Amino acid sequence: MTYGMLIDLSKCIGCRGCQVACKQWNDLPAEETSVGPDFTNPQKRSAYTWTTIDFITAEVNGRTVATFTKSGCMHCLEPACESVCIVGAIQRQDNGAVTIDHDKCIGCRYCQLACPFGVPKYEYDQVVPRMRKCTLCYDRIVEGMEPACAATCPSGAILFGEREELLKLARQRIAEGGGRYIDHVYGEHEAGGTAVLYISPVPLDLTALNTDVTTESVPGFTWKAMRQLPVLVGSVAALSLGLMAYSRRRAQLEALAKGGGEQ
């Protein structure tokens, strides 16, 4: 059973309660932040800030509209991050959560490069850095609780449940909204489908959502590159061994020549 979240951007009031709840539940340290020109704070996610609220102000039909977008891991149905993880540290759980086993993670950052949503973040300040991101509160879900952000949201903008039921609800709200929403459920097909879904009252390019992401399964693309890795690594290794052998032989010849000259 795949769980997920439906985020209704028409209901988000930008209170940042989800940011605070995420920090508290996951015991994430505070960071020094700054307010951007659009009042977004913090301005970007990090290894210790997994959820952000992006403020965007734009003109829609001649009037100024402010939109707030809760941004975090999309928990893809076919995660690109999982497909490129060379140590198997990233796994999509049966309940839909995409998690990172930090005991296995080597901080190679392949997942950061592969993710179409730019989600995994690197612990730059650690001696042994790892990749970190939202876990969909996997530990809460297995105990029968909803994610901390959904439990905290005071306006009902974040709803937790089975993905298929959330899709039905999203389509129902769009159909019965009288034009309140654009006719698109973001995450239904993006990146092959995600567990986190969005509906919006404004065009998606006026939100913080990535509107350029493919609707195809991303691992199909990443595997084309990753399957070349063994060949590449083997070629580099062979070249390195060849250069080492050449350098060693050259040093031996130079030593012999120098020794013969001294005689």
Strands (DSSP E) along 165-232, which ranges? 196-199
Average model confidence (pLDDT) across the chain: 88
pLDDT at 61: 78
Is the bond preceding residue 42 a cis peptide, omega within 30 degrees?
Answer: yes
Average pLDDT over residues 182-205: 96
Using CB atoms within 10 A of its CB, is residue 173 exposed (0-12), middle (13-18) or buried (19+)? Answer: middle
Instruction: Give the per-residue pLDDT at 261.
Output: 55
Cα dihedral 212, 218, 224, 226 sign? positive
191 or 224, higher pLDDT: 191
pLDDT value at position 92? 97
Please indicate whether residue 99 or residue 38 has the higher confidence score (pLDDT). 99
Evaluate if residue 37 carries a pLDDT over 90: no
What confidence score (pLDDT) does residue 167 get?
A: 98
Q: Which of 209, 174, 213 is nearest to 193 (CA)?
A: 213
Tell me, what's the pLDDT at 1?
Answer: 84
pLDDT at 222: 57
State pLDDT tens for residues 68-127: 999 999 999 999 999 999 999 999 999 999 999 999 999 999 999 999 999 999 999 999
- Tell me which of 128-132, 237-241, 257-261 is least confident: 237-241
Give the model's confidence band at 211: pLDDT under 50 very low, under 70 low, under 90 confident, else very high. very high
Q: Coil, strand or helix: which one is 174? A: helix
Q: What is the pLDDT of residues 222-247, one digit of tens each?
A: 555 555 555 555 555 555 566 566 56
Token digits of residue 140: 């809460």
CA distance 132 to 147: 17
Q: pLDDT tens, 131-170?
A: 999 999 999 999 999 999 999 999 999 999 999 999 999 9
Per the model's pLDDT, the better-predicted residue between 30 and 149 turns out to be 149
d(CA 228, CA 223): 8
Determine the pLDDT at residue 170. Answer: 98
pLDDT the model gives residue 60: 76
pTM exceeding 0.85: no
- What is the CA angle 44-46-51, rounded to 5? 70
Q: What pLDDT score does 234 carry?
A: 55
The beta-strand segments (E) located in 61-209 are 63-71, 90-92, 98-100, 121-122, 131-132, 158-162, 196-199
pLDDT at residue 231 in the model: 55
Give pLDDT, residue 158: 98
Residue-level pLDDT at 226: 54
According to DSSP H, which parts of 88-187 are helical? 110-114, 138-141, 148-152, 163-176
